[in-house]
Amino acid sequence: MSGSLKIDPSAQISDTARITASTRGSTISIGAHTEIYDYVVIKPVGGSGDITIGEYCFLNPHTVLYSGNGITLGNYVLIAPGCAVVPTNHAFSRRDIPIRKQGFAPSKGGVVIEDDVWIGANSTILDGARIGKGAIIGAGSVVAGVVGPYEVWAGAPARFIEKRP
């Protein structure tokens, strides 16, 4: 069964963005008034999770979303240029088989980014990340865990900086 691609008619998608429909049944859904800019890649790979992008989101140039174990973006999510959302991990436990041939590790639950979140430039969001409403992720951060609502995190690995006022 092929996956489906659902794009709200009010969404704006650059001609240079690449959105690939699934061949394994995953769904990609893009909400109303969302804007996807130049050279964004949205691709089902590394699992059979769905990608759901809410309303009024902005995905800036050179952002990559791989479906992996699933991605959910709430409404009004801002993703700066050069970010990667990658909710999957390669298996690597055997030395006698190339990593590429070992498949993928068990899911840590995909990625959930709640409403009104700002992800800074060149950040990477990994499998199992949960980013709460109104949170901010500083540029160049690597997020793999839980970020609470209205918290500011930064670094590689990302760590708590402060609560938003």
- Which residue in 42, 44, 47, 26 sits closest to 106, CA to CA? 47
- Selected from 2.40.160.60, 3.40.640.10, 1.25.60.10, 2.160.10.10, the CATH number assigned to the domain covering 4-93+110-160 reads 2.160.10.10
From CA 2, how far away is CA 5, in angstroms rounded? Answer: 10
Least confident of 24-28, 44-48, 115-119, 121-125: 44-48
Provide mean pLDDT across the span 103-119: 95
pLDDT at 47: 77
Counted residue by residue, the chain has a size of 165
pLDDT at 23: 81
- DSSP symbol at 157: T
pLDDT in tens, 125-135: 999 999 999 99
pLDDT at 1: 39
Domain boundaries, the chain: 4-93+110-160
From CA 65, how far away is CA 43, in angstroms rounded? Answer: 6
Angle at 71 between CA 65 and CA 77, to 5 degrees: 80
Provide mean pLDDT across the span 6-25: 94
In the structure encoding, which two tokens stand for residue 128, read together? Answer: 């199992």
